[in-house]
Structure 1
Amino acid sequence: MSLNQIVGRHKEKEILNRVLQSKEAEFVAVYGRRRVGKTHLIREFFGDAICFEIVGLHGVTLPEQLDNFARSLNRAIGLGIQPQRPSSWSEAFQQLEKYLQSLKQRGIKNRRVVFLDELPWLNTPRSRFISSLEHFWNTWASQQKDLILVICGSAASWMLQNIVKAKGGLHNRLTSQIRLLPFTLGETEKYLLSRGVELTHLQVVELYMAIGGVPHYLKQAEPGMSSSQILDKLCFSSSGQLRDEFEKLYASLFDDYKQHLSIVKSLAQKRKGMTRNEILKRTGLTSGGSISHRLEELEESGFIQSVVPFGKRTKDALYRLSDEYSLFYLDWIRKLGKRSPGDGYWLLQQNKPLRNNWSGYAFENLCLKHVQKLKSGLGIEKVETTESPWHYYSSPNAEMPGVQIDLLIDRRDDTINVCEMKYSGSEFIINKKYAAILRQKLDVLRRVTGTRKNLFLTMVTTFGCANNLYAKELVAHSLTIEDLF
C-alpha cells in the first residue's frame, strides 16, 4: 500500500482497510464521475496486492473487449505468451479463475485483489458480461477467503442500477461500496501542496469555484503559477485541456448525453434552481420515466443537486447545477468558441460585472457543498439539522415582498441559522440598503412560516464583515473562507 500517495480520502481508506483486514471474500464497488481519482485510489491503496487488472475500453465491440481481457491476463501472468482470446465472457472468467487458482497453488497466501475498472464499458450490448460476472462471484469467487474483487465505474447511475441496486444474481452481493466525490476545499489545498503548488486560501477558493475538486483537473496546476494563470492555461489557451472537455465528459458517461446536456444548460440559466416541471418546459423533454432517469443520473454523477425548499414537500424539489466546471464552461469557455483570447484573459476579467455575478453564484455553490464545515464553524457539528433554501414569491400588490434566502440551517435546538453567502475581494460591507434587505428577509421568513424559533443571521464571506453599526445590529455569526478549509 502507498497510503502516503493518497491525499485525503480518510473515510474511503477506512473502508478499504477494513476490506483488506477481512478474513472473508470481499466484493467492493467504487463509483463516481470521470477524472475523480477512482483508479488512483485503488491502485495506490492495494499496490502489489492487485494480481489482475483490466480497464474497459470505451465504445468498442465485444471481440475487442475480449482481446483487451487476453492482453490484461497476459500482463498478470507475466510469461510473455498471450493467452488465446476467450470466445465469451463466460470463458474469460473461467480463464481468470484458473489463473487465480494457480497463484494459490504456488503458495501465495496474501490477499489477492482483482480490479475490474470502467466496468460499464466492459458490458457491451448482448455480451452477457453481467451474467458471467454474477456466475464468477456466486459460484467461485465468493468462496475464496483471500480474494478481494473491486469493480469501478464512472457511469455512476449504471453502477447503481446494475450493481449496487441489482435485482438479479448480484442482488445484495456487495460487501462494501464507495461513492467517490471530488476533493473538498481542504483536500484540494493538500493535493496542490503535495505537488508543490502553493496558493493563498483565496486563490484556492477561486480555482475551486472554476474547476471544482476534480484531481485530474487540479493535476494540471504548476508550481509558481497563480490561480488566474492556472485557469488561463487550462481553460483559455488554445491547447488548454479544459477547452473541449465539456461534451467529452458527458458523452463518456451517458448514452443519451444530449438530453443530459440540455438539462445542464437549462439549469445554468436559472441559478436558484428549477422544479422538474420547469425543466420539462425549458428543455422540451417529455414527462415520464425518461426525465426522472436523466435527473437521477446527473445527480448521482455529481453534476446537479436536488434540494427541497424549507417547508415544502419532495415533489417541490429544486434542481441546481452544482458542477463547477460545467458552470464555468457555459459561462466563460463556450462563449469564446475556437478563439484564443490571449495571455492574461482571466486576470483581465477582474471586477467586471459578468465575473462578479459568476463569482457570487460559484461561491454560494461552494458553501452549499461545505455545509458540514459551516456547522463546525458555528460549533453545531453534532446538532441534528436540516439544510434547505427558502423563497417567498409575492404578487405585485401584496403586503409582503418576495424574498430569496440561500440557506437555512434548521436546528433541533429551536434555532435557525439564516445564511447569506457573499463573495468579496476584501471585507464585506453591509450598507444601509443591504441592511434593509436583510431585515426584510428575516421579517418575511418569520411572518410567512410562522416559526417561533430563534433566527440567527449568519454571514459567510471571504474575509468577514466590516464591523460597522449594521453588522453589529444584524449579524449573529460571521464565517470566512478559513472556516471552509
Structure 2
Amino acid sequence: MFYGRENELKIIQQAIHSPRAELGIVYGRRRVGKSALLAKLKTHKGDLHFEALQKVSAKKQIEHFTDQLAKQTGTPETLAHSWKDAFEALTLHIKRGRHYVIFDEFPWMAAGRTELVSLLKFYWDNVWKENPRLTLVLCGSVTNFMLKHLIHSKALHNRKTFEIKLDPLPAHEAVLFFKKYRSSFETAKFLMIFGGIPKYLEQMDPTQSLAANMDRLCFTKNSFFLTEFETLFKEQFKVIKTYESIVEILADRSCSKETLAKRLGIKAGGGLSGYIQALEQADFVRVFSPSSVMGAGEKTKKIVLWDEWLQFYFSYIKPNRRIIELNTKPGLFAQLAEKSIDTYFGLAFEQFCIKNLPNLLRHAGIELDEIIGYGPFFRQPGRKGRNAGGFQIDILLHRHGHILTVIECKFQTSPVGYSVIREVEKKISLLKPKKLYTIEKMLVCAGQITKDVQQSGYFHKILDLNALFTP
C-alpha cells in the first residue's frame, strides 16, 4: 500500500525529467517508506534498483550488486573483484539514454566505510554526470552515516542536486490506511501508538478494533512488534546499551541533559551530547528549548522521546515482555493497559498535535510565514523568581505582530468542561507575557466540549479531529 508523499514524488519526478544529470540523497528512519517511495517512480526500461545486503563483506556486496545488474539488464554477470570493476560494468549501461538509478541502503553497500563514497565521487565527476539524462539516488536508514559521509561530506560537496529527509506520514495521509473503517477518535489512538510509519500501518487490519490489533501485533507470543525495538536499534547503532537506557528514561519522563546524566550515572559532557545528537538525527528524540519560541532569556532545554512506537514499547511492552512471550490468547492488551491507557493518550495527543501543526494552522487560518517560533513551552519552578511555579503550555506560537497563540490540546472521552479555561488562564498568568503582546487562545479537542465552554467565547478557535485528518 502506498499513500501520500506528493511533495517528495514531485521532487524526484522533476529530477528524472531534468535536462542535467541529477544526484539525490534520500534518508530517514527504518520502516518510513524510502524504498517504496523510490520504487514508485521506477517505470522506465532503463531504470535500475540496487538493494544492498545487511552485515555482509564488501566481496558479497559486490557479487550481489553485479548479480542485480545482470538480472535487471538481461546481460551476463560481470566478474568483479572490486567496486571499481562493478562501477565499470554499470557504466556500460547508463552512459547514454534516460536512467533512474537507485542505490538502496547505501551505508550497507559501503559496509560503513568511506572508500565507496570516494569512488562514487570519482565516477560521478568523471563519467556518470556526462549523461544529462541520468538520475542517481543514494538512499539509507543509518542516519549518522548518511549525514556525516554523504550530506555533510566534502567528497559530495556541491554535487548533490536534491535531498529528501523522509518523515513519517502526517495524520491526513496516514488516515488513508484505515479506509474509513475506524472513527477519527480510534484512528488517532492507532497513530499515537505507531506514528505515521507506513510499514507499521500496513500491519493493521482496519476492519478490527484497536484492542484486537494490539493483541495480535504486540501482546501475543511471536507477534510482529515484540522484537521491533532490537531490530530498529541494532541497525541504527553499533552498541545499543546506552541508547536504550536513554530512551527508557525519557519514556518515563522528558528531562534536561543534566537530569538525564544523573539518572544514567555519567557526566553531562560531550559523550552524552553525542548520544543525544545521534538519537535526534535518527528522529527518536527531540530537544526543545523555550528560547526557540520566545527568544533569549529562556535557557532550559528539555529532551523529549519523539518516536511514538518507542514510547509505547517502553511503557507497556518491555515491562510485560515475559508475560507476552507466553501469551497465545486475546485480551492481554486490555488487561495490562486498561487503567492507564487514557492518561497515556492524553499526554501523547500533545505531541500528535505538534507533529501535525501545519494542518492545524491551515484550519485555523494561520499562515506559516506568520510564525516566528513554535513548540511546547515550559518553565522550571523558580526560573522567574524563588516562588515562581513551573508550568508547561502544550503548544505556543510566537507570531509576527506581537501575537502569542496558546494552544491547549485535549484527548478524552468525557466532554471538555469549563475547567479548561481556568487551566489556560493559569498558564498565561505564569507565562507573564509583555503587555504589548496580544494573547490568542486555541483549543484542539478530540471529543466534545460542554455548552458553557462553547458559549463563553473564551477561545479564538476551537478545532476538532477533522483539523488533523482533513487536508
Higher mean C-alpha displacement, 357-366 vs 340-349: 340-349
Question: 2: distance between equivalents of 1:408 and 1:316?
Answer: 16
User: What is the letter of the counterpart of residue 88 of structure 1?
Assistant: S
Superposition deviation, residue 97 in structure 1? 1.1
Question: 1: distance between equivalents of 2:397 and 2:287?
Answer: 16
1:281 aligns with 2:262: yes
Residues 464 and 479 of structure 1 are in contact (CA less than 8 Å); yes or no, is this contact kept in structure 2? no
User: What is the letter of the counterpart of residue 405 of structure 1?
Assistant: I
User: What is the letter of the counterpart of residue 268 of structure 1?
Assistant: A
Superposition deviation, residue 256 in structure 1? 3.2
Residues 94 and 134 of structure 2 are in contact (CA less than 8 Å); yes or no, is this contact kept in structure 1? no
Residues 49/9 of structure 1: CA separation in 2 closer, same or farther (3 Å cut): farther
In structure 1, the partner of 2:377 is 390
In structure 2, the partner of 1:26 is 22
Say which SS state the counterpart of residue 77 (structure 2) adopts.
coil
Say which SS state the counterpart of residue 42 (structure 2) adopts.
helix
Q: How does 1:169-248 map to 2 (within 5 A)?
A: 169-193=155-179, 198-248=181-231
Superposition deviation, residue 435 in structure 1? 4.5
Superposition deviation, residue 430 in structure 1? 2.9
Query: Which sections of structure 2, spanning at least 5 residues, go unmatched?
Result: none
In structure 2, the partner of 1:74 is 70
1:333 aligns with 2:289: no
Question: 2: distance between equivalents of 1:183 and 1:157?
Answer: 22
1:242-274 residue CA offsets vs partner (Å, 9 max, x unmatched): 11101210111122333322221121121xx32
Task: Give the TM-score normalised by the residue count of structure 2.
Answer: 0.91
Higher mean C-alpha displacement, 371-380 vs 29-38: 371-380
1:412-436 residue CA offsets vs partner (Å, 9 max, x unmatched): 13221112212112432234xx544
Task: Give the TM-score normalised by the residue count of structure 1.
Answer: 0.88
Query: Which sections of structure 1, spanning at least 5 residues, go unmatched?
Result: none
Residues 358 and 368 of structure 2 are in contact (CA less than 8 Å); yes or no, is this contact kept in structure 1? no
1:216-238 residue CA offsets vs partner (Å, 9 max, x unmatched): 11111124212222222111121
Residues 28 and 143 of structure 2 are in contact (CA less than 8 Å); yes or no, is this contact kept in structure 1? yes
Superposition deviation, residue 186 in structure 1? 0.9
Instruction: Pick the aligned partner of 2:412 from 410, 421, 424.
Output: 424
Question: 2: distance between equivalents of 1:178 and 1:402?
Answer: 39
Instruction: Pick the aligned partner of 1:256 from 216, 228, 239.
Output: 239
Instruction: Pick the aligned partner of 1:128 from 112, 115, 122.
Output: 115
Question: 2: distance between equivalents of 1:294 and 1:458?
Answer: 36
1:74-102 residue CA offsets vs partner (Å, 9 max, x unmatched): 212324x4322x2221222112112334x
Question: 1: distance between equivalents of 2:423 and 2:47?
Answer: 62
Identity %: 28
Question: 2: distance between equivalents of 1:207 and 1:319?
Answer: 24
Superposition deviation, residue 49 in structure 1? 4.8
User: What is the letter of the counterpart of residue 392 of structure 2?
Assistant: Q
1:129-181 residue CA offsets vs partner (Å, 9 max, x unmatched): 111111111111111111110110011222111111111x2112100111111
Question: 2: distance between equivalents of 1:83 and 1:348?
Answer: 58
In structure 1, the partner of 2:304 is 320
In structure 1, the partner of 2:437 is 453
Say which SS state the counterpart of residue 389 (structure 2) adopts.
coil
Superposed CA RMSD in Å reads 2.4
User: What is the letter of the counterpart of residue 210 of structure 2?
Assistant: S
In structure 1, the partner of 2:90 is 96
Question: 2: distance between equivalents of 1:470 and 1:483?
Answer: 18
User: What is the letter of the counterpart of residue 222 of structure 1?
Assistant: D
Question: 1: distance between equivalents of 2:44 and 2:52?
Answer: 21
Superposition deviation, residue 345 in structure 1? 3.0
Say which SS state the counterpart of residue 338 (structure 1) adopts.
helix
Say which SS state the counterpart of residue 237 (structure 1) adopts.
coil
In structure 1, the partner of 2:426 is 440
Residues 393 and 427 of structure 2 are in contact (CA less than 8 Å); yes or no, is this contact kept in structure 1? yes
Superposition deviation, residue 395 in structure 1? 5.0
In structure 2, the partner of 1:376 is 362
In structure 1, the partner of 2:150 is 163
In structure 2, the partner of 1:483 is 467
Question: 2: distance between equivalents of 1:78 and 1:259?
Answer: 47
In structure 2, the partner of 1:139 is 126
